Amino acid sequence: MMNTTHAAMGVTLAAPLTALAPEFAPIGALAGFLGGAFPDLDLLSGQHRQTLHFPAYYSAAAIAAVTAALLAPGLGTVGVALFFVSAAVHCISDAAGGGLELRPWKATDDRGVYVHPAGHWVRARRWIRYDGAPEDLLLASAFSLPGLVLFDGVVRQLTIGALAVSVVYVAVRKRLPDLETRYLR
């Protein structure tokens, strides 16, 4: 899935706060957005879905952070909780997408996400065929609705910007491998 889809998922995870604890909703949404985007920084390492993708560890951190936020609600505890919940959801949901190959629509690689404690890869399920597929844009659009409707200010602006990036990325996704092999190698 696209990084922007994961970021929008993070904002959606914070959406219940608008009704339950509105004073924490903006920080929760921003932390969810960042937590959803964070694991994909490992694209820069050459070890995508392995270096900063920790489905088990983020999930454990999320349980601890949510417990802390429930026991001592505050901007910091809620923000940390939403960051880790969103990062965990990002990593787990990566298995729903395609593999790690340069042209994932060809389905030649089955690596979905690496689970460090188990020492193996979870198989790519391809429910979203590849990052930037039309169904990925549909999912990003659906997950963007709470950011557009329930939030204002920075959260809404980030949601609009991420959705715009999603549209452009989907439009050029299948051309990117040719550009990469031509100009970056």
Q: What is the pTM of this model?
A: 0.95
Are the C-beta atoms of residues 91 and 113 closer than 8 Å to each other?
A: yes
Task: Assign 169 a pLDDT band (cuts: 50, 70, 90).
Answer: very high
**Residue 170 in contact with residue 128, Cβ under 8 Å?**
no
Identify the three-state secondary structure at position 111.
strand
pLDDT confidence of residue 137 = 98
Angle, helix 153-172 to helix 134-149, in steps of 10 degrees? 170
Q: What are the tens digits of pLDDT across the range 72-106? A: 999 999 999 999 999 999 999 999 999 999 899 99
- Distances, alpha carbon 66 to alpha carbons 11, 62, 119, in Å: 16, 6, 27
Q: Which domain holds residue 25?
A: 3-183
Q: How confident is the model at residue 179 (pLDDT cuts 50, 70, 90)?
A: confident
What's the pLDDT score for residue 146? 98
Give percent of the chain above pLDDT 90. Answer: 92
Tell me how many domains the chain contains.
1
The span from the CA of 160 to the CA of 2, in Å, is 15
Asked if residues 114 and 54 have their Cβ atoms less than 8 Å apart, the reply is no
- Whose tokens are 């995870």? That residue is 13
pLDDT, mean of residues 169-175: 96
- Please give the backbone phi and psi of residue 111, each rounded to the nearest 5 degrees, phi first: -80, 115
Question: pLDDT tens across 46-78, in order?
Answer: 899 999 999 999 999 999 999 999 999 999 999
